[in-house]
A and B are shown apart, each in its own frame.
Chain A
Amino acid sequence: MSRAIWGTVKYVSLLLATLAVLLPLSVVLFASFKTKEEYATTGPLDPPSNWFNLTNFVDAAVKSDMVAAFGNTLIVLVIALAGTILIGTMAAYAVDRFTFVGKKLVLTLFLIATLIPSVTSQVATFQLISGLGLYNTKTALVLLFMGTDIIAIYIFIQFMQSIPVSLDEAAMIDGANRWTIYWRVILPLLKPAIATVVIIKGIAIYNEFYLPSLYLQSESLISTALYRFKGPFGAQWELIAAATIIVIVPTVIAFLFLQKWIYKGLVAGAVK
């Protein structure tokens, strides 16, 4: 194929793809700025007449529990992330810096657990969580987010291998014990890996719908709050659109600022 033809095909296909991605999102954006009457009389591809009409957004936030949901999501996020990082780095430290009886067993346990898709054991997990009396608590969610995340441990182990043992030994000569080495030497050096985990896991928790809908009934996280728009607001699409946009905006912001990290994190986990 001649260069020119190929070049055109290339850019046309890229443009089509861009349209395919942006069109569904744009029409929702349009709808969120339309008033009720406007929505009823204009087509989905007609832009809104007033781009500053924020009534739908205000309504959506006020008439639902979105604000409380954001708060809940934040709480769960912070605790689950802190927990994952602590537990993950400690486990990686143990695996990378020590040899101990049962190490192989532990690693095999991790390995096998990665093969079990979490959806399959949900029925039994639910019984377990109820049995622990944690049904309908945020604690259940935090536990689940922390306990089933082996990727974080993997990322930490990978990263830890590039931290030279000589640093540990230097610290030990200075009289530090193992805990101090972990806390003062290793942990600070793991910052890039921690950043990656925070971002990847943070996004995953923010978007999680299945677990909160199953385990948290009386309050909402973001996803479940948005989902509840489906019932009571029936066909009021301008409201639902506004709510949807509210939920997407943080993701857009995070993406614009953290692009590089996100790509790195995904590729690091899979390509290695």
Chain B
Amino acid sequence: MSLSTNAPLRASLAGSLDDAVHEGERKRRRTRRRSAGPAGRGWIASVTPYLFIALAVGLLVLLTYVPAVNMIWYSLNNWTGFGPVDEFVGIDNYIKVFTEPEIFAVFGVSLYYFVASFAQMAIALYFATLLSFSTRFSNFFRGVLFFPYLINGVAIGFVFLYLFQPGGTLDTVLGWVGVTETPLWLGDASIANYSLATTSVWRYTGLNFVLFLGAIQSIPSELYEAAELDGANKWDQFRFIIFPGIRRIIGLSFILAVAGSLSVFEIPYIMTTGANGTATFVIQTLETAFHFRQVGLASAMAVVLLAIVLIVTWLQRKVFPDEKVDLT
């Protein structure tokens, strides 16, 4: 589980962080008196907040912004990673990114994961709806469905490497239902990506599931009772109460799907090392930078990825704006 596990929370921060703080400020403007504090209004008092926030901002700038800015600079050069950066090539690298087929192929691979994430969301929504209402053993099922998300990525990679082995678990189970000619799930380049994408679905559905569950459970229950009195059946209730009520989470899940499918790394790397046509964008970038020593080109690839994510995020905010949905 890479740090992009934090991705769901990161994606929702845009806007929410802003809201949270402004809410606090509004509250405080009404109730706060100017409290001078024992340090008085002297310079110590005015410097205090900066002291408290210094480390956080310092680390943030150092580890997020400085590399980001450098990255843009690197992308405009050819650089091996050693010695000075002195070979300015302008947008050459960007042209390469959009024209060289090996580089472009990785976007195609991301598509498998992108489509898979829709399956993820559908499955997650289905089970979240099921388990939001009276179902026996719901705690058990909830735990089971969510648990894969917590498992170490390397462990999951090995579990499924084992499962997909020729003559392994999957083949044996298929044998029970009479399927005897099974393909090489990971060895066959034409289906390897399907197998990997399925592993990804297995791993991440739990997260979507818990998010949907939380959202559905925050819909006030009187709405369902009122709807039933009006004669709505379960499907109507889903369409007109649940679905609108969780629009925000669906929007969030969509961003995650895009960002997630572009930054896939662990599963393909651990299971096939990106061979056989399963190389993803991140794997390709790392190879370009560290194996082929083309830091400039790799940086250009990273900038393109960043641009795509930002554009999609911006689009998503347009289509699913952050206003609170009023269900009454």
Contact = CB atoms under 8 A, between A and B. Distances in A.
A191 to B, nearest CB: 19
A260 B23 CA distance: 28
A210 B153 CA distance: 10
A127 B287 CA distance: 15
A71 interface: no
A269 B12 contact: yes
Nearest to B148: A21
B323 interface: no
A48 interface: no
Given A154-B20, A204-B3, 13 more contacts: A10-B130, A20-B202, A107-B18, A117-B306, A119-B4, A125-B67, A145-B3, A147-B60, A206-B152, A209-B154, A227-B270, A267-B214, A272-B16
Count class of interface residues, chain B: 35 or more
Given A87-B59, A204-B5, A272-B20, A115 B65 contact: no
Contact of B162 (A28, A43, A116, A254): A28
20 contacts: A17-B127, A18-B144, A31-B162, A93-B52, A109-B61, A113-B60, A115-B14, A117-B305, A119-B302, A122-B286, A126-B290, A128-B67, A147-B62, A151-B10, A151-B13, A168-B35, A227-B154, A241-B158, A266-B8, A269-B8
B229 interface: no
B159 to A, nearest CB: 5
Contacts of B116: none
B59 A147 contact: yes
B20 A124 contact: no
A120 interface: yes
A44 B162 contact: yes
A21 to B, nearest CB: 5
Contact of A178 (B2, B12, B39, B153): B39
B143 A120 contact: no
Closest 4 CB pairs of A and B: A147-B59, A207-B1, A267-B214, A91-B56
A208 interface: yes
Interface string B70-88: 1100100000010000000
Interface in B266-290: 266, 270, 282, 285-286, 289-290
B5 A207 contact: yes
B180 interface: no
B243 interface: no
A58 interface: no
A10 B135 contact: yes
Given A115-B309, A117-B7, A150-B13, A123 B295 contact: yes
A95 B53 contact: yes
Contact of B172 (A14, A43, A122): A43
Interface stretch (B43-51, B96-104, B106-114, B184-192): B43-51
A255 interface: yes
Contacts of B173: 23, 45
Contacts of B265: 119, 210
A90 interface: yes
B261 to A, nearest CB: 12
B20 A113 contact: no
A101 to B, nearest CB: 9
A122 B302 contact: yes
B17 A109 contact: no
Contact of B158 (A91, A103, A226): A226
A1 to B, nearest CB: 9
Contacts of B125: none
A150 B37 contact: no
B151 A124 contact: no
Contact of A207 (B10, B20, B64, B152): B152
A126 B71 CA distance: 11
A56 interface: no
A124 B74 contact: yes
B150 interface: yes
A211 B12 contact: no
Nearest to B66: A128
A263 B213 CA distance: 10
B154 A247 contact: yes
B252 A127 contact: no
| A118, A119, A165, A176: most-surrounded residue (chain B CB, <10 A) | A119
A102 B7 CA distance: 27
A177 B37 contact: yes
B101 to A, nearest CB: 22
B160 interface: yes
A272 B12 contact: yes
Contact of A128 (B10, B70, B290): B70
Contacts of A254: 150
A11 to B, nearest CB: 8
Given A114-B10, A115-B309, A121-B302, A271 B249 contact: yes
B71 A124 contact: yes
Interface in B203-218: 207, 210-211, 214-215, 218
A136 B3 CA distance: 19
Given A113-B64, A154-B17, A209-B153, A149 B6 contact: yes
Given A121-B302, A244-B159, A111 B130 contact: no
Interface in A197-239: 203-204, 206-211, 214, 222-224, 226-227, 229-230, 237
B155 A226 contact: yes
